[in-house]
Chains A and B, each alone.
Chain A
Amino acid sequence: MSIIQVKNVSFEYFKGVKVLNNINFTLNKGEVVAIIGQNGSGKTTLVKHFNGLLRPTKGEVLINDEDAVKKTVAQLSHTCGYVFQNPDDQIFNSVVTAEVAFGPSNMGIKSHELKVRVNEALRTVGLYEERDKHPLDLDLNQKKLVAIASIVAMRPELIILDEPTTGQDHAGLLRVEALINELRKNYTVIIISHDMNLVARVASRVVMMCNGEIIFDGSPKEAFTKNALMKKTYLKPPIITELAQSLKGFKRDVLTVDEFMDELKTKLKK
């Protein structure tokens, strides 16, 4: 089952400056897709097409087999929830619960159901204890989680996380990773990230972008062995992958320390 189909999409902000060039992409239900690539490669521009913030200059975007052009952003937000990079761009309420309730109340969700959704979303991101605080009293990690909760409460089918780990400390990183693993149970997830460790650990599929084109689409294991492509987009595989690749006779697609240790043990037994 595909949620999103992108067919031959090109996009220009200014005439003649192509930011997306003939993109073809299908997103299936239940996937955790990481979109990676250097700054300015078109990652954010691409995902902004999924909830209608941008409309393709050429080609079409189908959301659940319906043309996205015919729907408003508000309508599309029921299907595609987009969490922006900077939580300060959206927080305006004086209580966390009210902030989280903003999205669903725009959808017309009524009192009891609204409360259920808000509480559930706050529990999902682990901010239930903080629910009565002022959002601006929270630290950056938590503000980011408020932003994510405010999308989760809308219960879209797809949740897009734009750079969920920038500016986070290690505890924050672990929390985001745990959260993505929680979200994948009920949602399809897209993450845009420069954090290859995160990508290696959570993504089921990697889409590599460069100069407005998709240059790779496949599993993380495969992605991190494409050294030439990685170099082209100025990306570096996780250090553990690099270490394995530099050792003779080791598998080249090791993604985690655990995998590395398994490999090491089998090698030592031999």
Chain B
Amino acid sequence: MANAGLTSYIEKNSYFHKVNPLTKLLILICVIILSFTLKNFIYILALLVIIIPIAIKSKVLSMTFSPIFKLYFMFILLFFIQGFFHPYATEKLIDLPFGFTLWKDGLLYAAYIAARIFVMMVFGYWFVLTTHPGDLVSSLSRIGLPHALGYIILTTLQIIPRFRTQMQTIIDAQRSRGLETQGNLIQRLKSFVPLLGPLFMGSVQQAVEKSMALEARAFSAKGEKTSYRQATIKTKDKVIMVITVLFSISWEVLSWTL
């Protein structure tokens, strides 16, 4: 579990860990474009068939799908809201008492949205798990990304795991003072202020200190910047890129012609 806690990245010796970040980014971008443009949610979900072998080859299969299980409630809510209250629904599925109607097109719409989120999340998480943030940023700066923007990407990738560990400390500290963080909804809402207060104050303080520490190390110096981590584009990267683009185009065409 090297690096765990710093970012979501997991250090493993796998085929896809060694693939250039830009190649993986291209896969991710293609998936995002596909999930917005494919005709039918079945075509979107079919993309999962591809991620499974990729995730196995990357040795992060269970991790790749883990965020989905944490968000199952969101998906249930999505189907519930769209199924009952879709504004442009025309096709009834079932009439329920109290004037509620379950709409077929509402459910289809929910399935479309859910499939989109599902696929983007799985691919996105796979990308984060297998890509060292340093490699990503250095490859991006090589193709012209401004240095400051690269740093923003880097810190964004680090911030969620950092928040998570800090949140855990704060939760522990407040529970030690008798705060109940579990229980019914009201109890949970009540426990929000004692938890978010220190988190927010801490982040502001850290942001100020971090910016000063950056400046102290010549972050805004002009001229060329170099980077410690270097990821090169190899032949296999080119092959994967070509396959990705060709597949995406043909899958897109297929979904609209069939």
Task: List A residues at the B interface (Cβ < 8 Å).
Answer: 14, 48, 51, 53, 72-74, 77-78, 81-82, 84, 86, 88-93, 102-104, 106-107, 136, 150-151, 154
CA distance A74 to B176 in the complex (A): 7
Min C-beta distance of A120 to chain B, whole Å: 17
Instruction: Please tell me if the beta carbons of B170 and A106 are within 8 angstroms of each other in the complex.
Output: no
- Contact (A103, B177) CB under 8 Å given A89-B170, A91-B198: yes
Contact for B194 among A48, A86, A102, CB less than 8 A: A102
Q: Which of B177, B180, B193 neighbours the largest number of chain A CB atoms within 10 Å of its CB? A: B177
Min C-beta distance of A219 to chain B, whole Å: 29
Q: Is B87 located at the chain interface by the 8 A CB criterion? A: no
Within 8 A of A (CB), among B140-193: 166, 169-170, 172-180, 193
Q: Count contacts between A and B, CB distance < 8 Å.
A: 68
Of the four ranges (under 10, 10 to 19, 20 to 34, 35 or more), the interface on chain B belongs to: 20 to 34
Instruction: Please tell me if the beta carbons of B1 and A14 are within 8 angstroms of each other in the complex.
Output: yes
Instruction: Please tell me if the beta carbons of A151 and B177 are within 8 angstroms of each other in the complex.
Output: yes
Task: List B residues at the A interface (Cβ < 8 Å).
Answer: 1, 166, 169-170, 172-180, 193-194, 196-198, 201-202, 205
- Contact (A136, B177) CB under 8 Å given A48-B172, A84-B169: no
**Nearest 6 CB-CB pairings of A with B:** A92-B197, A106-B178, A103-B177, A90-B173, A82-B176, A73-B175
CA distance A81 to B179 in the complex (A): 13
Instruction: Please tell me if the beta carbons of B173 and A106 are within 8 angstroms of each other in the complex.
Output: no
A102 proximity list for chain B (CB < 8 A): 177, 179, 194
- Contact (A53, B177) CB under 8 Å given A88-B202, A89-B170, A92-B198: no
Min C-beta distance of B209 to chain A, whole Å: 12
B175 proximity list for chain A (CB < 8 A): 53, 73-74, 77
Instruction: Please tell me if the beta carbons of A88 and B205 are within 8 angstroms of each other in the complex.
Output: yes
Instruction: Please tell me if the beta carbons of A106 and B179 are within 8 angstroms of each other in the complex.
Output: yes
**Who on chain A is nearest to B194 by CB?**
A92
Contact for B178 among A53, A77, A93, CB less than 8 A: A77
CA distance A48 to B194 in the complex (A): 20
Instruction: Please tell me if the beta carbons of B202 and A90 are within 8 angstroms of each other in the complex.
Output: no
Instruction: Please tell me if the beta carbons of B178 and A90 are within 8 angstroms of each other in the complex.
Output: no
- Contact (A89, B169) CB under 8 Å given A102-B194, A136-B201: yes
B166 proximity list for chain A (CB < 8 A): 89
**Who on chain B is nearest to A53 by CB?**
B172
Instruction: Please tell me if the beta carbons of A92 and B193 are within 8 angstroms of each other in the complex.
Output: yes
**Who on chain B is nearest to A77 by CB?**
B178
Instruction: Please tell me if the beta carbons of B198 and A53 are within 8 angstroms of each other in the complex.
Output: no
- Contact (A77, B198) CB under 8 Å given A14-B1, A84-B172, A92-B193: no
CA distance A78 to B194 in the complex (A): 19
A72 proximity list for chain B (CB < 8 A): 180
B1 proximity list for chain A (CB < 8 A): 14
B173 proximity list for chain A (CB < 8 A): 84, 89-90
CA distance A82 to B178 in the complex (A): 11
**Who on chain A is nearest to B167 by CB?**
A89
**Who on chain B is nearest to A104 by CB?**
B178
CA distance A92 to B196 in the complex (A): 8
Instruction: Please tell me if the beta carbons of A89 and B202 are within 8 angstroms of each other in the complex.
Output: yes
Instruction: Please tell me if the beta carbons of A90 and B201 are within 8 angstroms of each other in the complex.
Output: no
CA distance A218 to B179 in the complex (A): 35
**Who on chain A is nearest to B1 by CB?**
A14
Min C-beta distance of B23 to chain A, whole Å: 31
CA distance A88 to B173 in the complex (A): 10
A92 proximity list for chain B (CB < 8 A): 193-194, 196-198, 201
Min C-beta distance of A52 to chain B, whole Å: 8
22 A-B pairs with CB atoms under 8 Å apart are A53-B175, A77-B176, A77-B177, A78-B178, A88-B198, A88-B205, A89-B169, A89-B170, A89-B198, A90-B177, A91-B198, A92-B193, A92-B197, A92-B198, A93-B197, A102-B177, A104-B178, A106-B177, A106-B179, A107-B178, A151-B176, A151-B177
**Who on chain A is nearest to B176 by CB?**
A82
A107 proximity list for chain B (CB < 8 A): 178
**Who on chain A is nearest to B4 by CB?**
A14
Instruction: Please tell me if the beta carbons of A90 and B180 are within 8 angstroms of each other in the complex.
Output: no
Min C-beta distance of A79 to chain B, whole Å: 11
CA distance A146 to B175 in the complex (A): 17
B196 proximity list for chain A (CB < 8 A): 92
B198 proximity list for chain A (CB < 8 A): 88-92
